[in-house]
């Protein structure tokens, strides 16, 4: 007898092929039967007439490394149908754990956690498994963690030969232990200080294991084409599989570069480079407010940053660097103070939700002076949102066959970007059901099977007999405005165990560290 049977479901199997009607049965943690024959021997029969049965969504780009410890049930993920996360992105991760330097470096993106008890990836994995997790987690090895482990507090510079060798040895061991790839955030400190020699050495280790290189490349704005060329050349020289993280062009003046960016990906694949990309479905992003500062300042400790920002003698030069950047993305210069919003400033919460222009007006200062004052005071979290691209560019990237689904979710502040709890609903509800940017079959492929193949998952991402029963039963026309109060989900099943069925949530923590 089967445990569950979805009767007469409209199946999107994750391949991008045509929808088909079928009965789908689950036994244990596996899909045991797919067919049109009647099945009566199931302990629970679910009437799926008029509903869409899909694989659980796989988020190619997220930052739940610490959230999965703070919130093991992972409600913000389950409530939007995301059943597998790929964490450790943008070069920001939690292992190897080298201590306070790493903890401080990642907190604006990953948030805080007061019990960093692990040292290695295997320690961290054991900690997750000890109390269970609500969804599946696949991890990338983060460049930031490797640099601090190899270089200590001096990670804000180029690495020497011995340090590069230490990083390579650690990366080799963690990839052998089951991590799915390596990620770098060449826009963020300390990864931005990595030179070509360091990157080539690390990527050769990744290629040895045939794992993925996911990268937030150096410049998504004025120098986006040169920056994209850098990582394509690195992949071409090493043969590594390349994932361009949250593909976009930042700034109104740079939207014209998007067609050329997509052409570059196509040309690279024609040359034999295995490159693809992911995208979140919003024209505005979110990251650390400190990332508005010039790179040389980001290489300093938080105390040294605060001192530099408090010195009037330094400010004129900092303002010039921000307004006339050379070789780095000045989001302030590209977006402007009207399109940058302080989502959460721990030491000055009276400004949460205000743009930098509004904060400057409230303080009787120019926006940049207000920014410098706030960051000079800040000892905790400072997170912003910023309008980065046009809706037309977002749709153009979304349609491209090399681009799949990701959320870039952050859970570091009490006021997260909507992508952290609503991305899949936005993707399907707005861009598929309302605007028809993608067909339902293609959208589900990009959210499931495509990402499973990128990762090399052998038994997830598709509705196939013998595959793990990570399944969603959806009414696409009823996807709600808020992912946390979403009436479009009828069943959410993780490894054959329902987290949602019959309108009732039961958080069984049946996820796994993959």
Distance CA 116, CA 97 (A): 8
Q: Is 461 exposed, middle or buried (0-12, 13-18, 19+ CB in 10 A)?
A: buried
Average pLDDT of the residues in 91-99: 97
Residue 108 has pLDDT above 70, yes or no: yes
Q: Which helix (H) or strand (E) holds 77?
A: helix 75-78
Average pLDDT of the residues in 369-392: 87
Q: How far is CA 307 from CA 83, 310, 356, 487, in A?
A: 44, 5, 21, 50
Residue 269 has pLDDT above 60, yes or no: yes
Confidence at residue 37, expressed as pLDDT on a 0 to 100 scale:
77
Q: Which helix (H) or strand (E) holds 182?
A: strand 181-185
Tokens coding 198: 């360091």
Residue 485 has pLDDT above 60, yes or no: no
Distance CA 347, CA 111 (A): 15
Average pLDDT of the residues in 30-34: 97
Query: 331 or 469, which is more confident?
Result: 469
Q: Summarize pLDDT for 284-327 with one digit per residue, the tens.
A: 888 888 889 988 888 777 788 888 888 787 888 888 999 998 87
Q: What is the pTM for the complete model shown?
A: 0.91
Residue 482 has pLDDT above 50, yes or no: no
Confidence grade of residue 484 (pLDDT, cut at 50, 70, 90): very low
Confidence at residue 286, expressed as pLDDT on a 0 to 100 scale:
81
Confidence at residue 351, expressed as pLDDT on a 0 to 100 scale:
92
Confidence at residue 308, expressed as pLDDT on a 0 to 100 scale:
82
**E strand segments, 195-348:** 212-216, 241-244, 275-279, 284-288, 340-345
Query: 334 or 93, which is more confident?
Result: 93
Tokens coding 176: 């052998």
Average pLDDT of the residues in 400-419: 90
The string of DSSP letters for 14-28 reads SSS---EEEEEEEET
Distance CA 255, CA 243 (A): 21
Confidence at residue 241, expressed as pLDDT on a 0 to 100 scale:
98
Where is mean pLDDT largest: 172-181, 279-288, 386-395, 406-415? Answer: 172-181
Query: 41 or 150, which is more confident?
Result: 150
Average pLDDT of the residues in 12-31: 97
Residue 181 has pLDDT above 60, yes or no: yes
Task: Report the interhelical angle of 312-323 vs 367-377 (nearest 10°).
Answer: 120
Sign of CA dihedral 242, 185, 417, 66: positive
Confidence grade of residue 448 (pLDDT, cut at 50, 70, 90): very high
Q: Summarize pLDDT for 412-440 with one digit per residue, the tens.
A: 888 778 888 889 999 999 999 999 999 99
Residue 510 has pLDDT above 80, yes or no: yes
Q: Summarize pLDDT for 332-350 with one digit per residue, the tens.
A: 888 899 989 998 888 899 9
Q: Are 308 and 431 in contact (CB under 8 A)?
A: no
Q: Which domains does the chain have, with CATH numbers?
A: 2-55+465-505 (2.30.40.10), 57-283+388-455 (3.20.20.140), 288-385 (no CATH)
Cβ-proximal residues to 370 (8 Å cutoff; 6+ apart), any chain: 356, 359, 360, 363
Strand, helix or coil for residue 264: helix
Confidence at residue 39, expressed as pLDDT on a 0 to 100 scale:
65
Confidence at residue 314, expressed as pLDDT on a 0 to 100 scale:
80
Confidence at residue 304, expressed as pLDDT on a 0 to 100 scale:
84
Residue 160 has pLDDT above 80, yes or no: yes
Confidence at residue 483, expressed as pLDDT on a 0 to 100 scale:
42
Average pLDDT of the residues in 508-514: 96
């Amino acid at each position: 007898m089967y445990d569950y049977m979805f009767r007469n479901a409209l199946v999107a199997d994750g391949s991008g092929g045509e929808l088909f009607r079928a009965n789908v049965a689950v036994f244990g943690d596996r899909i045991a039967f797919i067919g049109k024959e009647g099945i009566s021997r199931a302990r629970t029969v679910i009437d799926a007439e008029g509903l869409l049965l899909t694989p659980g969504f796989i988020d190619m780009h997220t930052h739940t490394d610490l959230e999965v410890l703070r919130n093991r049930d992972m409600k913000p993920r389950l409530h939007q149908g995301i059943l597998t996360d790929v964490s450790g992105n943008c070069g920001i991760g939690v292992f190897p754990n080298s201590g306070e330097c790493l903890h401080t470096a990642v907190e604006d993106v990953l948030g805080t956690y007061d019990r960093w008890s692990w040292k290695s990836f295997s320690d961290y994995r054991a900690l997750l498994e000890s109390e269970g997790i609500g969804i599946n987690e696949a991890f990338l090895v983060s460049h930031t963690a490797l640099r601090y482990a190899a270089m200590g507090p001096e990670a804000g510079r180029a690495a020497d030969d011995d340090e590069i060798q230490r990083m390579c040895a650690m990366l080799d061991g963690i990839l052998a232990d089951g991590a799915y790839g390596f990620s770098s955030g060449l826009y963020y400190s300390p990864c931005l200080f990595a030179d070509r020699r360091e990157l080539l050495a690390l990527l050769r280790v990744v290629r040895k294991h045939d794992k993925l290189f996911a990268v937030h490349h150096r410049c998504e704005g004025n120098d986006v084409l040169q920056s994209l060329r850098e990582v394509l050349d690195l992949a071409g020289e090493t043969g590594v599989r390349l994932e361009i993280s949250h593909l976009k062009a930042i700034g109104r003046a740079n939207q014209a570069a998007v067609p050329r960016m997509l052409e570059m990906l196509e040309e690279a694949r024609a040359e034999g480079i295995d490159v693809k990309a992911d995208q979140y479905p919003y024209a505005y992003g979110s990251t650390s407010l400190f990332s508005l500062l010039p790179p040389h300042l980001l290489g300093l400790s938080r105390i040294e940053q605060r001192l530099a920002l408090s010195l009037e003698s330094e400010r004129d030069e900092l303002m010039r660097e921000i307004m006339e950047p050379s070789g780095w993305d000045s989001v302030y210069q590209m977006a402007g103070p009207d399109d940058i919003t302080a989502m959460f400033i721990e030491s000055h919460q009276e400004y949460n939700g205000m743009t930098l222009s509004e904060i400057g007006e409230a303080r009787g200062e120019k926006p940049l002076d207000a920014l410098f004052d706030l960051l000079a005071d800040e000892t905790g979290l400072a997170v912003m949102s910023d309008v980065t691209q046009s809706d037309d560019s977002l749709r153009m990237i979304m349609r491209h066959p090399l681009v799949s689904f990701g959320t870039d979710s952050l859970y570091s502040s009490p006021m997260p970007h909507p992508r952290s709890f609503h991305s899949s609903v936005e993707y399907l509800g707005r861009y598929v059901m309302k605007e028809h940017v993608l067909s339902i079959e293609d959208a589900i492929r990009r959210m499931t099977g495509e990402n499973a193949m990128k990762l090399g998952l052998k038994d997830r991402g598709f509705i196939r007999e013998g595959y793990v029963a990570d399944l969603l039963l959806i009414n696409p026309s009823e996807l709600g405005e808020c992912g946390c109060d979403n009436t479009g989900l009828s069943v959410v099943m993780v490894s054959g165990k329902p987290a949602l069925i019959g309108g009732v949530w039961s958080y069984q923590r049946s996820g796994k560290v993959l």
